[in-house]
């Protein structure tokens, strides 16, 4: 059984038959991640590809760029309780918060 390693690669892995994924972005955009999986399993590859492209930038932002503090901040925007960062992690600066927000705005999520 093959599972995709995250939202960044979902479409790529689901296309040849992966059965699911472990996606940090699902904490924030769970419904679109599930929709991506459904589109792939139903063979709607063009729609899946378009959705995947909208998810890439926010996914990179909450994993590679800003990590857990970024994911926690994004969760707050979408009505979830991200909570405070525990040491040694630090909360995002205001500049980082604005940059993170822009990654979600760029693709119509905010």
Q: Are 90 and 69 in contact (CB under 8 A)?
A: yes
d(CA 110, CA 92): 18
> Can you list the domains of the chain with their CATH numbers?
3-105 (3.20.20.70)
Express each pLDDT in 35-93 by its tens digit: 988 888 888 988 988 998 999 999 999 999 999 999 999 999 999 999 999 999 999 99
Mean local confidence (pLDDT), 12-27: 72
In this prediction the pTM is 0.82
**Nearest residue to 59 via CA among 18, 5, 95:** 5
Identify which has the larger pLDDT, 6 or 48: 48
**47 φ, ψ to 5°?**
-65, -40
């Amino acid at each position: 059984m093959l599972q995709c390693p995250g939202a960044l690669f979902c479409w790529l892995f689901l296309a040849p038959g992966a059965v699911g994924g472990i996606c940090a972005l699902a904490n924030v955009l769970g419904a679109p991640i599930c929709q991506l999986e459904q589109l792939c399993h139903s063979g709607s590859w063009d729609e899946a590809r378009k959705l995947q492209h909208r998810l890439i930038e926010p996914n990179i932002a909450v994993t590679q760029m800003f990590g857990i503090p970024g994911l926690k901040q994004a969760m707050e925007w979408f009505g979830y309780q991200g909570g405070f960062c525990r040491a040694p992690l630090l909360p995002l600066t205001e500049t980082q918060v604005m940059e993170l927000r822009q990654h979600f705005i760029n693709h119509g999520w905010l």
